[in-house]
Amino acid sequence: MGLYWDISDPNAPTQSEVLDFDGYPKVGPPFHPFTWEHPLGVAPRVGYDNLAYLVNGLRTSLVVAVVATVVSTLLGLALGLMAGFSRGWADRVISFVTDLFLALPFFVMMLALAPIIVSRFPDPDTLKWAQLAALLSVLILFSWMGLTRLIRGQVLSLREREFILAAEVIGVPTRQILFKELLPNLIAPIVVSISLGLPAFVAFEAGLSFLGLGLTGIPSLGKMVADATPFYADYGLYLWMPVGVITVLTLSLNLLGDSIRDAFDPRTRR
């Protein structure tokens, strides 16, 4: 079992061995019985194994979601701490930049960026990594603002508390106040942000790849949905497989995030 686009692999079957003259699979669905060699069937026209593609696409979605969530959370947390604890121009500048990024249209930026990347990187091997870097950059740049505002509001409330005022009076360094006094009290909103970010980024990656604005040279769940759309009438399983995986993955991450949030929130503990 494998992805049958690597012509350098001598053990990989050719397209003629798994596809008929119409481009449909010779084994498995939609016109042949189940086979353990290809338990989810073979993709029409290209001849790669659907299970192998789903595994690779799932890995891509998880990598994109985890990297984008971690980086955007760190960025939003750092800017929120600085904006909330500072009492001057730094707060005004960070607040202005946050409002500016919130005003920028996300999908318009992707629509403008996609053809530029394709024209600048004509080599397919270079293009796929350029698309991955561009997708991560856009997701990160347009996702830190909500956490920044949330952390800033929390810090504005916490900095007037007695333990923060006492630490400032006795001369505790600002860095120590931020990381040892304020940060432990911000665990709940950070966990909530991460729990919401992971499934959201999975859905964003799939949606952008489906529209051709994300990953086109790397296996992804969204690209599989786009490839399966023309075959829906004859090969419905080919479309419902990635759609089902995206649904289950998003639901699982949401449920996991809710459980972790409840564990960290003392108000929900029994």
Tell me the three-class secondary structure of 178-226, residue by residue.
Answer: HHHHHHHHHHHHHHHHHHHHHHHHHHHHHHHHHCCCCCCCCCCHHHHHH
Q: pLDDT tier at 17 (50, 70, 90 boundaries)? A: low
pLDDT for 71: 93
Q: pLDDT tier at 3 (50, 70, 90 boundaries)? A: very low
Domains in the chain: ranges and CATH: 51-268 (1.10.3720.10)
Q: pLDDT tier at 194 (50, 70, 90 boundaries)? A: confident
pLDDT per residue over 220-251, tens digit each? 888 888 888 888 877 878 888 888 888 888 88
pLDDT of 11 higher than 80: no
Distance of CA 163 to the CA centre of its chain: 38
The least confident of 13-22, 103-112, 139-148, 160-169 is 13-22
pLDDT per residue over 140-153, tens digit each? 888 888 889 888 88
